[in-house]
Structure 1
């Protein structure tokens, strides 16, 4: 028989077996020895166990190997006279019946009883001892006395360390877990095997992670107290890695841990296996803006193309899950259109100005940061509030509007409408020099035409002033300037009217004195209305901004002669003499008509394009003369010139005097 010594956990057994003698019943002697006992260790002395052996000095002993308990039907003879004694585990002294350890290296419980490795099962070797007498003349032994069964129990010694079912304890066991793995999930780990038996084979697992990972989210879940045997299926696991807290890829991407296992023997043996736990990212985080609400101001003169701000957002995820795109997604109800004025770079988050701004406007809009997760992305929103501060870059704008004021006068409280006409003219209208030559950019002045004899005071025009700025920059104050030498210039006043809005005000241009073309013409020995009575004034408006912006507007006020007088003949009676021999067409008399008014009558100034000033002769030329008589006259009148001439042959013998009327 040869029992070959192998390392712990490696099985190698080579035993030649022979059948034991046929006996009905045998005595059995139990013995025990610890595995790995030194060679020469006494296992037992048979004479001390059976009385009949004590007196038999002539007895001789031979030992047969009957195998382990699991295979007791086979056996082989083992004796001290074997040719290969070094291969045998035990030997028996043929005279003293002492059984001793022959080969300590072969006394390995794990190799001898692989079925009992890592379990509570008993490991024993069965032997048969043949007893015979050396004295052939002595009384022969009975069959029961000549065959003795010996059972040697191999006591386990904690000589094997646990080992994992992997190729090398230095190779890291890789475990991949998505970060959304449910708490409580159990992941199988490689099993450890300890070939020792009983208490020495009981395994205790522990998990250690690196120092900075003491709060790791893992625990061990052990389903058995004892190690498993090598006959069990490798899928049957007694140890699992259990998730006790949620994973967070962003907080910890990997864990370097060590799975340790120790047996329960003395001295204790331990083994370790490194665990490399990788956490895989999932799209569980939405982008986060650095500021949930961003507010700032812009000057209205900010150039188009200026980068006005940059959005900052982060996403704790990685890869596409953490890649962010920005977008403008809509305006709040009280906002100007952000899409018309701003552009948002989707990749950088930079916002650029795309069109000019207007002071005093507000923009309130949503921006969105969205990751590129598939199939579903995550997003968050932030509000942007922009207030555009006004820059005093607009001068007041002056507009002159015609007035139609209702004025009550007299005891009957009659309502009279003061009509005026406003038109655009050049800065040097009718040769009258403006107070300040062409101050406004369009080189245009305003002409206000009103009739004389308006009841004073009268509104002759409205001055509307606007400013495109806001706030103090749009507050307006206007003044009227009249040159001292201008006749009746002091009669023109500028009176504040209605404040329509913060940037629009209406002034009234008031004529405080009643003017009469005829009276003032006599005072000045000239017909001022006839020659164009024009009062030049200037409106100056300024705002309250810094720097102050000013505007000027020249106004010509033209006083128009009203049709208050009828034409009259220079003479009430015209007398003339003419010879009866006067030829046809001869002049008889020239009719002359005068009119203190000097304008074409019958046409109101608000219904015609231009007023024309006429002399008395010109007025007469506009009349139509006719003769008024019931008899046939030898005279006729030029309807345009008023010249009366001979139109038929005269006969003094027939009639010497004619009386008739001339009308127009």
Structure 2
């Protein structure tokens, strides 16, 4: 518990805002389920809120290296993490995560530093190789030896070389300007082919891990007749720049080395002396001509440059080393990617301007102008874009929406890069505007009038009133039409027909006035006036 508390203190102290809100550290090859960090505590989120708000953990790349326990709020290792496979020889190996709280439309960024462990043994490209030298070689003659490869970094990579005990050779280890170590076999005692035609040596490479790992290679020194000149490259370092879309099979450059000797001693063979497995899949060096050929497609987004160590060896075994630096230029070969991280499909009319309807992530894997993306919405729509965080955008309303004006929107988000010609992509957000009861019924006429002869039959149709509502669904349904003269007249709330309940008498009353009311499903109402004139009939006998 004390060690875990100490580790927790270190992790908390390592938080920084350079990339995101949280930063943790975990060693590679930790078992599945290993604790990484308490996300809920570090973000100040209570566990019920974490579960109820809908949390999504998004990770870049194909691997799903981490998972989030919704019950504890802990971030833990979800699958095997191999630092060398993910980051190669980069000293700073960081996996970037994003935690989306969908209920709040909030993004939290998490950076997990993957630290190296000593899980790789130094290895030579060949377990056994032959070195040829002349019996007339003088003391101090040097022979370049192959370097061991160890994918680990810093102290865990190759630190020391050692040579098996012998009386003719010793080992000289040198460090290049870039910090890499290379070894040379140095002749300490003159050779005599008649005494020994071969010398068997063992070269050991050890890393600095605890415990250290060691790899070996067997060296067979073949003693030949004199070859007193080693090849010499025309340049110590060759540099070439190529676009990433250079066709497979293209010749990038030709290296050239010369040897002052004659015959077989001047015949030069070109090989890669030190090359990564990835680079070996991309480049081929012709052993006779020295031409560097593209074997498969380059990708600037995977690697911007490759450093290739080469070797020129003459027919008698003397060699020299050189270097090729291949710099890759970016081309506009990636379309901007639009990811809808969160969105709503329904929004009530009348919501205030600035209401968030979608959260988008827009990015382009190209660099420079090719990776600069502009995002836009069609003109004339009541929506606008707001940049919320790095490559995240929010789509928000620019004014209140009115369902009676437009009931549905298909909003096209367009992302275009700065390349020439520009590449673009789009995504469509479908949004339905929900109705609220913001419209009262409206009568077709503010005042209705009719004429009815007296002595009419009960149930006679007097007139028909009509009301409509601009809303939708229950809010648009006129549920009730009533009148204020219910004793004499009936009003059908469904059809709007006004009928008389019984016969009317002109001599008793010459006209009637009433008020009718229409009410929708949301309780809003409207009124209209009704005027009915009674027509006189000759239904009375004169009296004296």
Return the TM-score normalized by structure 2.
0.50
Return the TM-score normalized by structure 1.
0.41
Considering only CA atoms, is the larger Rg found in Structure 1 or Structure 2?
1
Structure with higher strand content: 2
